[in-house]
Amino acid sequence: MTDLTPDLQARLAQLGSATVYEAQGQRGAVDERIKPIDASMTLVGPALTVDAGPADNLMLHAALHHARPGDVLVVDAHGFDRAGAWGDVLTAAAQRIGIAGLVIDGAVRDAAQIVQAGFPVFARGLSIRGTTKTYRGTVGEPIDLAGLTVRRGDVIVGDRDGLVVIPADGLHRSLELAEKRETAETVHRRRIADGAFTSELLGLTDTLHRYFGAAAVHVGVTG
C-alpha cells in the first residue's frame, strides 16, 4: 500500500499528469482514449483495482465494500464501451464512502448528474445501455488497464491531459523527479520571456543547423 499523504496528493495535483509522466521516463501513461467526462476533472489517489468484466457491474458494487476514503476505483471493464457500468446511483454511494473518483476502461452513463455531483470519472466512453450483474471478477488484485498493469495502492494522477500511474513503491522518487522537472520548466519559461529560443534551451541548435543551416535557424524556418 502507498503512503500517499494529503501534502503529497496536493503536490501531485499541482504538477499534473504530463509532468509526472515525463519525469518517470515517459512511463505509466494510460491509454489516451480513457478521458475525463468533463475537462475540468482532476484526480489523485491510491488505486483500488477492480476486474469488472465487459457489460457487467457486479464487481463495482462489491468494490464499495472494500474501498477506503480517498481511494480511486480503477476498473478493467475489458474496453467494452457499449454499456454504462457506472451511473448516478453508484456515484452517490461512492461519495458517501469518500471514494475520490473512478477510472474505467469501459463506459459510464448519467454523465450530467455525475459532473454536477463533482465526482471525477475517467472513462472510455458513454453509453445508456444497461449491464448485467453476474461476472465474478476480482477486487484488489492486479489488473490490465488497456495494456498497463495497475496494482492496488499504485497512485493515479489524472487531469485534462490524461492519466498516469505511479507505482506505489516509487511514489517519492517520482514526485522528486517531477518537481525537479517543473522547476526546470519554470526556468525555461523565464528565459523564453527574456528572448531565448526553445531550441537553445533543449540543446537542439546543432541539430537544426544540420537540417536547415545556421541562417535559417536564426531568422526562422518557414514551410
Task: For residue range 96-122, list pLDDT tens digits in order.
Answer: 999 999 999 999 999 999 999 999 999
Provide the β-strand partners of residue 104.
Answer: 75, 123
Residue 1 lies in a domain: no
CA dihedral (92, 85, 116, 68) in degrees, to 10, reads 40
**Of 168, 185, 201, which one is at a domain's C-terminal end?**
168
**Count of domains for the chain:** 2
Inside any domain, residue 84: yes
* CA–CA separation, 86 and 109 (whole Å): 6
Query: Does 123 lie in the same domain as 47?
Result: yes
pLDDT at 188 exceeding the cut of 50? yes
Residues of the chain above pLDDT 90, percent = 89
What whole-number percentage of the chain has pLDDT above 70? 95
pLDDT value, residue 213:
82
Domain around 187: 177-219
pLDDT digits (tens, 9 = 90+) for 19-34: 999 999 999 999 999 9
Per-residue model confidence (pLDDT) at position 1: 54
Task: Write down the pLDDT at residue 35.
Answer: 97
pTM for this prediction: 0.92
Query: What's the pLDDT band for 216 if we cut at 50, 70, 90?
Result: low
Kindly state whether residues 115 and 193 are assigned to the same domain.
Answer: no
84 and 136 fall within a common domain:
yes
Same domain, 108 and 21: yes
Higher pLDDT, 156 or 215: 156
223: confidence class by pLDDT, cuts 50, 70, 90: very low
If asked whether residues 157 and 192 sit together in one domain, one would say no
Express each pLDDT in 21-73 by its tens digit: 999 999 999 999 999 999 999 999 999 999 999 999 999 999 999 999 999 99
Asked whether residue 33 is domain-assigned, the answer is yes
